[in-house]
């Protein structure tokens, strides 16, 4: 089974030593992804906008792996402030309302105080 590493262009990947995603067979493991826009390395100060950007970044990584958001089976949310999570629900419903992956939300301090949410997913490519 061949292993494929996927990058996003984020400088964090080379500085820290990780991949945006790892493909192993039909499984895709997407690293914790924050709301940075990797093209500009900017980040919103709103948790809902960061949540949306996280999911766009995850979608881009999954596309490089030949998958899509519909293939997500597990999602983990990390927020420094648990009270912010409900502000993300409309965004999450838009992306995951029909997919409904298994989910966990964890309150944890993130690397950069500008980061208000980090999302990690596991996907299983379904053979067509």
Following DSSP, what letter does each residue of 54-121 receive, concatenated?
HHHHHHHHHHHTT--GGGEEEEEEEES-GGGHHHHHHHHHHHHTTT--EEEEEE---SSTT---EEEE
Instruction: Return phi, psi of residue 28, to 5°.
Output: -130, 125
Q: Is the pTM of this model over 0.75?
A: yes
Other CB atoms closer than 10 Å to residue 92's CB: what's the count?
A: 18
Tokens read off for 64: 């490089």
Task: Note the CATH number of domain 3-124.
Answer: 3.30.1330.40
- Domain ranges (residues) in the chain: 3-124
Q: Per residue of the chain (128 residues), give pLDDT as tens.
A: 689 999 888 788 888 899 999 999 999 999 999 999 988 989 999 999 999 999 999 999 999 999 999 999 999 999 999 999 999 999 999 999 999 999 999 999 999 999 999 999 999 998 65
Note the pLDDT of residue 13: 85
């Amino acid at each position: 089974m061949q292993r494929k590493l996927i990058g996003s262009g984020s400088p964090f990947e080379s500085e820290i030593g990780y991949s945006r995603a790892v493909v192993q067979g039909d499984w895709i493991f997407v690293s914790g992804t924050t709301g940075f826009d990797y093209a500009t390395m900017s980040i919103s100060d709103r948790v809902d906008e960061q949540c949306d950007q996280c999911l766009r970044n995850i979608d881009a990584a999954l596309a490089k792996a030949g998958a899509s958001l519909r293939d997500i089976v597990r999602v983990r949310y990390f927020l420094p402030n648990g009270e912010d999570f409900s502000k993300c629900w409309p965004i999450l419903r838009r992306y995951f309302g029909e997919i409904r992956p298994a989910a966990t939300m964890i309150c944890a301090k993130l690397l950069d105080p500008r980061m208000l949410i980090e999302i990690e997913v596991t996907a299983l490519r379904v053979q067509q």
